[in-house]
């Protein structure tokens, strides 16, 4: 049974039993504290917790999920995967335990010919929470399970909660017994790979408080409305139904594994380590494909970093299999073909996906090449020093700065007869992870408890009237101060205001929030921000400028007309530039992010090379021609499928409902799904002035533009500069470029001559320095302070020149100077001094310490610095003392 068929059987079964079939949400999580959708129930959490009233009594879905917390275990166990699909059926105050258990047992054990999964009842076990006698009785009655195949377990495995006060409840899990060949008898309680968990049923029936851990909390009563949340692991059922050993061998994953085997010439099943690498490749390529299909692009932070890590781990694994060249064109194509039956969008978006993936692989292959060069130098240096261990900080530098995998460092070091100081490397990695966790915790602590909004959301959605109105009458539904619901807020306080209706636009879709005011009888509020903390609810952050605002008070929202005009210009300008980009570069130049506010916009798009000045000029010209042509801007609300059939572009990572807003500029020339505010005709945009183009990753570029009056003001400022230059240089405007070019050439020639004069002047100081040499033991030492030295490079030149002029007898040169207010000291030794045991790197640490700083370098030359320029004489004296020692 193919994975796509298992998926469709699930949806058909529950759809026929009154469940609303809900499409999979994006892998990009809407929860600001979580990067990805990590479980099938995540999109339904607002309904399960009562934050938002459920729009249907029962639902079903097959949700795409990503988890990377166990990434190091991928390939090593039969069930660890980064991308997986979780099927779920949900009840919001409708059926409860009996219905959930009945549905699960029927679907699992019904014959394949009647739409079921055809599992043999004798192979199925269940676990329940130890005190849930009700569930045990139901399993016996509905499924006829004997006592020995029902196991009672504790809260750590069979009790669900969010980890916070609120809804919770016992769970029951269904396991498949793979047979004695896979492990010992004893059922799921043995925690053995023999028993594979395939279905988890959560009975959300209690309210809990005083939560201190996953297993320590107080049950304070039953919920007024009990919910069901169940989930079946699609990949786990697939490998059981397909008769293979693990999830990496199912029909959606195995083709990539097989292609990796073909490319490498390594047979799957022959060598354990090679098998793990092939499974890693198969998993990571599929996960990357699905992430990029949902709009994630490789970068150095957040979701993009996780994607980059998956891609680079794949490249690394291929290299360890002996494949040094590009492999993604083969692997991603195979993964696309395997996933398209369930997710047609991966084929529809494959040009964009493949461009990003291939560009990332090419970049990382170059990184590996440069990293290998750096590692080779480090290995050579270690061996020359007689060491058989490569320093852990070197391995960490390669990993952290260059993205060079530790596995490759270990491999190359081993080939050279060295080991790597893993303890030091692991310690540095641990420190980095702790910093990252602390940063994540800090960010998370600033996210408000969304439960405060549930009572307000229960009144319904906030009506946004701002598309057609600039002011609107409403009433105050609620006030929040410091995350707590209050009845009033007075002058000077900052608060959140929840209204029944508003004309103020909440930040979304790349458009910044409106500016404006909210006024009522006896009060005035300055609007600082407008957000959507939960779906369907708009919250206004305000400063109370005058009076007291109270719940149930009348309120009038007033949009700042000038700011809104600028925001409309910028948002419509974003659409125009996007259309112009695609006209010039083609359909692969797809928007991947945007931000616009009054007077300014930026647009990120998928592309892997810088745009030439000529291309930017052409894009700007097309955009301004569209403005000049006064194209009509039309907005329509249409069913999502109809909008897409008309060619309206959906932006990756954006969430869309069943009915969407389509914005046309010039008909199909620019047709996008967009909930932002827009001008009526393109002429109202005024002007587009592209001011910058830059990279935001190996496969993404960014253009920035000023819009409207701000664009005109910037051009006016440039005109003023041109006028000043023509006046100062006494040159006509059209001759300015050549005149400035001539001046720059002359300046460079002058700087070169000055440098030559300075070099001669420095060289004339060498005899004086040689004359200052003193003999310390058997070593000649020059330790002098320099005056009138501009840079550390000048000091270094004098140090090396003086050392070379001292000849072959053991010599040390230490020169120090005040460079831009800070002390700099450089020490150099010749070969004879080093043979006598005198090393520059050792000396510099002592001297720099005297200066109140630090330093480092090699045995032949080292540099240090500090804070105290008055300590230069003492630092030089410490050099002499170090040579004496």
Give strand pairing partners of 776.
Answer: 779
Give the separation between CA 689 and CA 695, rounded to whole angstroms: 19
CA distances from 58 to 22, 89, 427 (A): 10, 7, 49
Query: Does 678 belong to an annotated binding site?
Result: yes
**CA angle, 366 then 369 then 372, to 5°:** 150
Give the separation between CA 615 and CA 599, rounded to whole angstroms: 23
At residue 573, the 3 state secondary structure works out as helix
**CA angle, 868 then 872 then 875, to 5°:** 105
144 sits in the region (left: phi over 0; alpha: psi -120 to 50; else beta) called left
678 sits in the region (left: phi over 0; alpha: psi -120 to 50; else beta) called beta
Edge-first strand listing for the sheet containing 861-865: 774-776, 779-786, 811-819, 822-829, 861-865, 855-857
Give the separation between CA 649 and CA 82, rounded to whole angstroms: 29
Chain-centroid distance of CA 106 in Å reads 41
Give the separation between CA 588 and CA 607, rounded to whole angstroms: 7
Q: What are phi and psi of 671, to 5 degrees?
A: -135, 110
Q: Under a CB-based contact definition with an 8 Å cutoff, are residues 700 and 602 in contact? A: no
Chain-centroid distance of CA 360 in Å reads 15
Give the separation between CA 483 and CA 793, rounded to whole angstroms: 56
Give the separation between CA 205 and CA 98, rounded to whole angstroms: 13
Q: Using alpha carbons, select from 720, 692, 722, 721 the residue that is nearest to residue 706.
A: 692
Contacts of 191 (CB under 8 A, 6+ apart): none
Query: Does 65 belong to an annotated binding site?
Result: no
Residue 541 structure tokens: 């952050």
CB atoms within 10 A of CB 234: 25
Give the separation between CA 825 and CA 783, rounded to whole angstroms: 10
Chain-centroid distance of CA 600 in Å reads 25
Rounding to the nearest 10 degrees, give the CA dihedral for residues 567, 571, 573, 578.
Answer: 160
CA distances from 62 to 24, 32, 554, 820 (A): 6, 22, 44, 64
Q: Under a CB-based contact definition with an 8 Å cutoff, are residues 666 and 632 in contact? A: yes
Contacts of 314 (CB under 8 A, 6+ apart): 280, 281, 284, 285, 288, 328, 331
CB atoms within 10 A of CB 341: 16
DSSP 548: E
**CA angle, 330 then 334 then 335, to 5°:** 120
At residue 783, the 3 state secondary structure works out as strand
**CA angle, 230 then 233 then 239, to 5°:** 150
Q: Using alpha carbons, select from 515, 425, 432, 504 the residue that is nearest to residue 462.
A: 504
Give the separation between CA 626 and CA 630, rounded to whole angstroms: 7
Query: Does 19 belong to an annotated binding site?
Result: no
Q: What are phi and psi of 258, to 5 degrees?
A: -65, -40
CB atoms within 10 A of CB 450: 20
Binding residues: 571, 575, 674, 678
Binding residues for Zn(2+): 571, 575, 674, 678
């Amino acid at each position: 049974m193919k994975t796509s068929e298992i998926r469709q059987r699930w949806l058909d079964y529950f759809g026929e039993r009154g469940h609303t079939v809900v499409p999979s949400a994006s892998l990009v999580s809407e929860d600001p504290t979580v990067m990805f959708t990590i479980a099938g129930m995540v999109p339904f959490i607002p309904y399960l917790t009562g934050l938002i009233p459920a729009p249907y009594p029962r639902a079903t879905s097959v949700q795409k999920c990503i988890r990377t917390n166990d990434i190091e275990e991928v390939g090593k166990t039969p069930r660890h995967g980064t991308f997986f699909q979780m099927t779920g059926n949900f009840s919001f105050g409708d059926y409860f335990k009996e219905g959930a258990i009945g549905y699960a047992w029927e679907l699992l054990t019904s014959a394949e010919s009647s739409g079921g999964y055809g599992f043999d009842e004798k192979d199925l076990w269940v676990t329940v929470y130890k005190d849930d006698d009700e569930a045990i009785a139901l399993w016996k009655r509905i499924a006829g399970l004997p006592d020995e195949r029902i196991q009672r377990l504790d809260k750590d495995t069979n009790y669900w909660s969010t980890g916070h006060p609120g809804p919770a409840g016992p769970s029951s899990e269904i396991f498949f017994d793979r047979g004695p060949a896979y492990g010992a008898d004893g059922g799921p309680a043995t925690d053995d790979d023999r028993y594979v968990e395939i279905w988890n049923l959560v009975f959300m029936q209690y309210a809990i408080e005083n939560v201190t851990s996953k297993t320590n909390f107080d049950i304070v009563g039953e919920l007024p409305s009990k919910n069901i949340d169940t989930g079946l692991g699609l990949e786990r059922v697939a490998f059981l139904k397909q008769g293979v050993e693990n999830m990496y061998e199912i029909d959606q994953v195995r083709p990539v594994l097989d292609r990796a085997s073909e490319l490498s010439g390594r047979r799957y099943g022959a060598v354990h380590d090679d098998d793990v690498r092939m499974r890693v490749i198969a998993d990571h390529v599929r996960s990357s494909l699905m992430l990029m299909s949902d709009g994630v692009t490789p970068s150095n932070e957040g979701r993009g970093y996780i994607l980059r890590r998956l891609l680079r781990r794949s490249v690394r694994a291929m290299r360890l299999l002996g494949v040094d060249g590009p492999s993604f064109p083969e692997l991603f194509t195979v993964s696309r073909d395997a996933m398209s039956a369930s997710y047609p969008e991966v084929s529809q978006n494959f040009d964009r996906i493949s461009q990003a993936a291939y560009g990332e692989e090419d970049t990382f292959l170059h990184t590996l090449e440069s990293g290998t060069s750096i590692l080779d130098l480090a290995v050579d240096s270690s061996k020359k020093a007689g060491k058989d261990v490569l320093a852990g900080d070197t391995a960490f530098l390669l990993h952290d700065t260059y993205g060079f995998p530790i596995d490759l460092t270990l491999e190359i070091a081993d080939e050279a007869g060295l080991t790597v100081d893993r303890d030091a490397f692991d310690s540095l990695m641990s420190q980095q992870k702790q910093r990252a966790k602390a940063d994540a915790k800090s960010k998370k602590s600033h996210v408000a408890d969304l439960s405060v909004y549930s009572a307000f959301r229960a009144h319904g959605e906030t009506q946004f009237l701002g598309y057609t109105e600039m002011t609107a009458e409403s009433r105050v539904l609620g006030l929040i101060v410091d995350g707590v619901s209050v009845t009033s807020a007075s002058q000077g306080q900052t608060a959140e205001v929840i209204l029944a209706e508003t004309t103020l636009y909440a930040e979304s879709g790349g458009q910044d929030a409106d500016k404006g005011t909210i006024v009522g009888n006896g009060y005035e509020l300055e609007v600082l921000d407008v957000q959507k903390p939960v779906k369907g609810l708009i919250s206004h952050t305000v400063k109370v400028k005058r009076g007291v605002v109270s719940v149930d008070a009348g309120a009038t929202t007033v949009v700042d007309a000038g700011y809104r005009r600028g925001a409309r210009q910028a948002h419509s300008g974003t659409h125009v530039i996007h259309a112009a980009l695609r006209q010039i570069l083609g359909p692969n130049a797809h928007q991947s992010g945007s931000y616009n506010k009054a007077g300014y916009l930026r647009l990120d798009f998928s592309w892997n090379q810088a745009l030439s000045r000529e291309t930017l000029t052409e894009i700007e010209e097309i955009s301004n021609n569209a403005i000049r042509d006064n194209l009509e801007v039309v907005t329509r609300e249409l069913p999502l499928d109809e909008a897409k059939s008309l060619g309206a572009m959906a932006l990756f990572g954006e969430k869309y409902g069943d009915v969407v807003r389509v914005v046309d500029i010039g008909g199909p020339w620019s047709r996008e799904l967009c909930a932002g505010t827009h001008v009526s005709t393109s002429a109202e945009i005024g002007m587009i002035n592209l001011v910058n183009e830059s990279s935001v990753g190996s496969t993404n570029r960014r253009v920035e533009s000023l819009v409207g009056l701000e664009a005109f003001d910037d051009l006016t400022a440039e005109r003023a500069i041109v006028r000043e230059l023509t006046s100062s240089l006494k040159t006509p405007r059209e001759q300015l470029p050549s005149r400035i070019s001539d001046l720059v050439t002359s300046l460079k020639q002058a700087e070169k001559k000055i440098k030559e004069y300075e070099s001669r002047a420095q060289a004339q100081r060498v005899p004086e320095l040689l004359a200052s040499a003193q003999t310390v033991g058997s070593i000649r030492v020059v330790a002098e302070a320099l005056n009138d030295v501009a840079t550390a490079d000048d000091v270094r030149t004098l140090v090396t020149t003086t050392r070379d002029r001292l000849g072959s007898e053991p010599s040390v040169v230490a020169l120090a100077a005040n460079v831009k207010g800070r002390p700099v000291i450089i020490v150099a030794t010749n070969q004879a001094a080093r043979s006598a045991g005198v090393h520059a790197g050792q000396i510099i640490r002592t001297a720099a310490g005297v200066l109140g700083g630090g330093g480092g370098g090699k045995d032949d030359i080292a540099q240090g610095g500090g804070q105290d320029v008055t300590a230069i004489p003492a630092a030089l004296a410490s050099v002499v003392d170090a040579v004496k020692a």
